[in-house]
Structure 1
């Protein structure tokens, strides 16, 4: 139970850091865009400071974790101090807060008509994503079962390397003495959650589902801006997550052979209908072959959409857009470059 409270505390810290950075800037973001935007910016900032604390401590421990959280909050306050001061002087923030209090939740739903359909959409996809991520690592009486395949041992090795190695930056867990060049931030996040008490499956599932929901929420906003169609925006997540090829034709054929019972057909045939090399069909499903196994995409894809949305929201505010985008790029890539340059190697 304490581990779940620690996870929720980390989520709130990320949202707070992101909100401190975004609030003083006059963005044209809707609520369902602003929430994942604040969370992602805060997450990138926290992971960057966490990694810096791990390098300072030489390992990932509770001192490094709490120091990283504190540095992230302090850095967010420093970045937001002057803009917040100017905004409070103009009373723009107070006016926005008082107007939000005045209209209430019903008024908010009327002023943001997309809020309810987006919430229902995210609820439905959240349940589906929870079921999907729950299959990433399953412990059974016969051993370990996973739908991910070869990628899972790679990520598990990185996570346990952060937990067990006494030196940060890490060496490559598969090539001793070589630096770790893979984008490891998402695995550092899972290692931190395990250090706080979560189990390995929980450390894989919780951030995976939340980051996927952030991706879908930002995708909805981007599609709505481009198409100006709510139907297209609601359809975009389904197109992204349920893409495939012509394998459904063979599903229909096999369905007729099993009395048109879809569950029985799926259970007995056991095909991945988006990947049937024996029929020359290899249309990799986005969720199955990218989001679940390639964990770096869980953080990278929402950040790409976030930068695009910030660009669309800033319009003429080029300077502010450059500052926020630069912050994301520097923190995201700076740690990897640092690891590459300063990790001791043996030749």
Structure 2
């Protein structure tokens, strides 16, 4: 119990990136711009889905939930990234470090489950079109979202809890936020068992969800190939293309960081790869879902015309 109390009174130091001069200014400016655009883009999707009845479908409901999640996800790590870019090595109380670690992984695993739910939605829409609206009612949508959040925040308790109870001898975290691997490297004891547990938990969740998604898309491909015309097949596939892109970005980076070979997760590479899923993926998600989406563009026009009518 004594070492637990000591751990929670510990002060860690986030190493961040070694930048100076013009490179530091560019890094801070670029990160801040991407962060603000990420917040604006995801907030835009949430507001648009709520404001336009044409987007009141299960697919756009889940997209708006994903956008809400991404706002919190990116806000968990980017402020500390900006702080380390501005001030270099940054102290962080161990309690705040463990909370950041837990919330970050909770949101990440929630997104993992949510991407599986979104794949299920596409499967039912394409493979069970006659029963789609009854199977994916508003009540079912809310229950599925609630399950993803409860499952994500519950699963993260295991690796985060094990990490928080370790005794620590070193202070400098070789990262720009508190992640499991870099924090566990500072422990006074052998953490190989702990590492196997958290890789098993995170790896199992990611793998099971990925297999679930691939299985659903296998059914989707079979159903689409049976459609009579090339136009109908193209339309069906187009409703899945954005989700497939997001799934590839999310699971690709997650497996590299948490399941890939140790040499890939070396300090310098690990921090750079982490930028993909902590900064760039939340930034690209709104673009992926809106840039080539005719329904979103049409909804935006309808909303802006209503606003002009009210103001005019």
TM-score normalised by the chain length of structure 1: 0.28
Indicate the structure whose relative CO is greater, using CA pairs within 8 Å and at least 6 residues apart: 2
- Whichever structure has more helix as a proportion of its residues is 2
TM-score normalised by the chain length of structure 2: 0.30
